[in-house]
């Protein structure tokens, strides 16, 4: 325990900050960009915007200090909000609450807090069992498709800000801005993007996104322009229920421990939603971590990130936050603004809380156009434009995976897209390896027919492997040589056993040679009778080299 604490403190001191000025300024920039995102995702989940802001603060501060890599920003995210909506968790909770005579829209939110406790447990267990390392197995076409799809999703989400609400109640609808309103919106967005594009060419000492937001906000405030602001966005999104983002410190939600009885008959919904939230959160976080690793040419810890995400979600459940995960858009803003240390994430989280506690009147005046412009620049920086150049140069299967993952990300969500991409890549890999198995045939001087197997023997190649043999027409003595092959799974074992038994049933002698120690162990576990057909005493130095290598790999 002492050594673990020592390692943590040493790592924390090394990654806390290398450039305090850049980390502080980039953290402030990110905090400003977090406000509308957290509020918007709270609206998606049909909860109060202050819950989204609390969630962003708690996710941000915990993962900044304890997370898997410095510079990565976490908060309330659309992917998590979408899962909450799709499972109807809050709606079901409110229905149960209404049947029990509780206040409207009360119990659904409490069920969300209870669910977040389980989400945190699942994510911590993923870190403890070191499941975070599996993100390294995600193929590059899946990563590129994920990034492209995410850029498209971010872009499409900004288009909603170019609409205005007309009418009230059920008759209300959103229509595109027109005339002068549209021109002003486009002009402010273009100005924001222009500052972010041009300022780094003059100086990189201050984050261009922060300067752009301040300049555009000053123009709208002192110019008296009537444009959409953070405050108008909150009021419109809440249907007039909320008047702003001002609030107090998060408080301990002790009431959730008295509401477990309301879950009777609904634990299946709670557990399934918690598992989905945990999985989606970890996938998005680990993919973001992987992307930032490539951008910064450093390496983070996926397992540590799992534990930090889980801890943060438990705190969200206990203190009334929405929950969340890593945010790729804000993480890219942070890194490109110079925020490479943990200090940047800490500043972003604390600044966000200060906005809620003290700075709401000022932050609420920031024009939405400035934040949209920042996110458009994130889209441009996120999209893998190189994918257009390489699409016709890479294997067709990889191109299909890339395009499919991008499309599914837009159509469904990030988690489903990654699952689809990994499964497609795995099937392509299995098919290619299945077609590579070969059997070279030769006859020894003593009349023994030797089948020299080349290529992996696994579930995908068993049929092709079995078809290589001709038991009825082969001589009495058969040798199957595995010096250039390996039995990889149970399907391979069954295929090998089937071939051996076909020869034995015909009263023919069969020997298996050059099997690795691992393969021998698997075969004997499956059927001890294999001992009679396995040849162990082989006078071939290559066999021992292969066996030693296999043994070291297994260890």
> What domains are defined for the chain?
19-175+231-363 (no CATH), 396-433 (no CATH), 436-554 (3.30.750.24)
Q: Which residue has the higher pLDDT, 347 or 1?
A: 347
Distances (CA, A) of 478 to 4, 461, 464, 494: 57, 21, 19, 18
Element holding 7 (H helix, E strand): helix 2-15
How far, in Å, CA of 374 to CA of 337, rounded? Answer: 12
In the chain, the N- to C-terminal Cα span, in Å, equals 26
Res. 551: pLDDT tops 80 = no
Alpha helices in 67-223 (DSSP H): 78-86, 89-99, 107-128, 140-159, 179-202, 208-222
At 328-339, the pLDDT tens digits run: 888 988 998 889
When pLDDT is averaged across residues 526-545 and rounded to a whole number, the result is: 67
Query: What does the pLDDT look like over 105-160, one tens digit per residue?
Result: 899 999 999 999 999 999 999 999 998 877 777 888 888 888 888 788 888 888 88
CB neighbours of residue 183 within 10 Å: 11
Residue 9 is predicted with a pLDDT of 67
Cα–Cα distances in angstroms (integers) from residue 238 to residues 45, 173, 250, in the given order: 12, 15, 20
Take residue 475 and report the two structure tokens written for it. 């001589």
d(CA 341, CA 16): 5
Q: What is the pLDDT of residue 545?
A: 40
Q: What percent of the chain has pLDDT over 70?
A: 93
Cα–Cα distance for residue pair 408/152, rounded to 1 Å: 11
For residues 546 and 516, the answer to whether their CB atoms sit within 8 Å is yes
What does the pLDDT look like over 75-97, one tens digit per residue?
988 778 878 887 889 999 999 99
Alpha helices per DSSP H over 364-444: 368-382, 386-390, 396-411, 414-434
Model confidence band, residue 12 (pLDDT cutoffs 50, 70, 90) = low
CA 343 from chain centre, in angstroms, equals 23
Q: Three-class SS of residue 102?
A: coil
Question: Mean pLDDT, to the nearest integer, of 547-553?
Answer: 39
Reported as a single tens digit per residue, the pLDDT across 391-424 is 888 888 899 999 999 998 888 777 788 889 989 9
Quote the mean pLDDT of the chain: 86
Q: Judge contact between 479 and 511, C-beta under 8 A.
A: yes
In sequence order, what are the beta bridge partners of 442?
450
Q: Is the pLDDT of residue 169 over 80?
A: no
**Quick one: DSSP state of residue 446?**
T
pLDDT at 553 over 60: no
The full 3-state SS of 498-513, as one line of letters, equals HHHHHHHHCCCEEEEE
Confidence of residue 539 (pLDDT cuts 50, 70, 90): low
pTM of the predicted structure, to 2 decimals: 0.74
According to the per-residue pLDDT averaged within each range, which of 2-6, 195-199, 487-491 is highest?
195-199
* Interval 351-382: pLDDT, tens: 999 999 998 888 889 999 998 898 888 888 87
Per-position DSSP letters for 332-385, written without gaps between them: HHHHHTT--SHHHHHHHHHHHHHIIIIIHHHHTTSBHHHHHHHHHHHHHHHS-T
User: What phi, psi does 312 have (nearest 5°)?
Assistant: -65, -40
pLDDT of residue 47: 85
Task: Determine how many CB atoms are found less than 10 A away from the CB of residue 214.
Answer: 15
The answer on pLDDT for 441 being more than 60 is yes
Burial of 85 (0-12, 13-18, 19+ CB in 10 A): middle
Contacts of 224 (CB under 8 A, 6+ apart): none
| Beta-strand pair 477-487/449-457 | parallel
Where do runs of H (alpha helix) occur along 160-301? 179-202, 208-222, 230-237, 267-296
52 phi, psi to nearest 5 deg? -65, -40
């Amino acid at each position: 325990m002492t050594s673990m604490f020592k390692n943590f403190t040493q790592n924390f001191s090394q990654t806390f900050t290398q450039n305090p000025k850049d980390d502080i300024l980039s953290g402030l920039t990110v905090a400003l960009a977090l406000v509308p995102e957290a509020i918007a995702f709270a609206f998606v989940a049909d909860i109060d915007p202050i819950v989204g802001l609390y969630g962003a603060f708690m996710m941000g501060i915990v993962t900044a200090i304890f997370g898997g890599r410095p510079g990565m920003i976490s908060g309330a995210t659309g992917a998590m909000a979408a899962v909450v909506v799709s499972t109807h968790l809050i709606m079901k909770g409110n229905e149960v609450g209404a049947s029990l005579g509780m206040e409207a829209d009360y119990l659904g939110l409490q069920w969300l807090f209870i669910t977040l406790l389980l989400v945190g447990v699942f994510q911590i267990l993923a870190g403890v069992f070191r499941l975070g390392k599996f993100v390294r197995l995600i193929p590059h076409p899946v990563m590129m498709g994920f990034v492209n799809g995410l850029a498209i999703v971010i872009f499409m989400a900004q288009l909603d800000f170019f609409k205005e609400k007309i009418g009230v109640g059920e008759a209300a609808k959103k229509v595109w801005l027109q005339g002068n309103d549209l021109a002003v919106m486009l002009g402010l967005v273009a100005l924001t993007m222009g500052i972010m594009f041009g300022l780094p060419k003059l100086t990189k000492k201050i984050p261009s996104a922060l300067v752009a937001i301040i300049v555009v906000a000053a123009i709208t405030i002192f110019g008296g322009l009537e444009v959409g602001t953070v405050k108008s966005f909150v009021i419109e999104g809440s249907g007039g229920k909320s008047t702003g983002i001002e609030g107090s410190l998060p408080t301990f939600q002790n009431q959730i421990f008295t509401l477990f009885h309301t879950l009777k008959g609904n634990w299946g919904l709670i557990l399934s939603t918690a598992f989905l939230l945990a999985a989606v959160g970890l996938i998005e976080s680990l993919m973001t971590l992987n992307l930032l690793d490539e951008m910064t040419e450093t390496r983070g810890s996926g397992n540590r990130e799992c534990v930090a995400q889980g801890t943060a979600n438990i705190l969200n459940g206990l203190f009334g936050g929405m929950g969340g995960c890593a945010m790729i858009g804000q993480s890219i803003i942070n890194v490109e603004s110079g925020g490479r240390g943990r200090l940047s994430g800490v500043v972003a989280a604390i600044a966000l809380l200060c906005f809620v506690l003290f700075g709401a009147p000022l932050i609420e005046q920031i024009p939405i156009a400035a934040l949209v412009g920042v996110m458009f620049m994130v889209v441009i920086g996120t999209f893998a434009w190189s994918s257009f150049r390489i699409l016709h140069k890479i294997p067709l299967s990889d191109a299909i995976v890339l395009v499919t993952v991008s499309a599914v990300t837009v159509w469904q969500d990030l988690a489903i897209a990654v699952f689809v991409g990994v499964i497609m890549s795995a099937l392509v890999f299995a098919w290619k390896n299945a077609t590579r198995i070969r059997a070279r045939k030769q006859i020894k001087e003593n009349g023994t027919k030797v089948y020299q197997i080349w290529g992996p023997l696994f579930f995908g190649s068993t049929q092709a492997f079995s078809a290589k043999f001709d038991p009825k027409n082969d001589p009495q003595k058969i040798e199957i040589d595995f010096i250039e092959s390996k039995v990889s799974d149970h399907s391979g074992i069954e295929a090998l056993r089937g071939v051996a038994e076909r020869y034995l049933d015909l009263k023919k002698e069969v020997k298996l040679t050059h099997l690795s120690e691992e393969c021998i162990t698997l075969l004997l576990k499956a059927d001890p009778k294999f001992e009679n057909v396995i040849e162990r005493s082989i006078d071939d130095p290559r066999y021992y080299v292969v066996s030693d290598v296999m043994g070291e790999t297994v260890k």
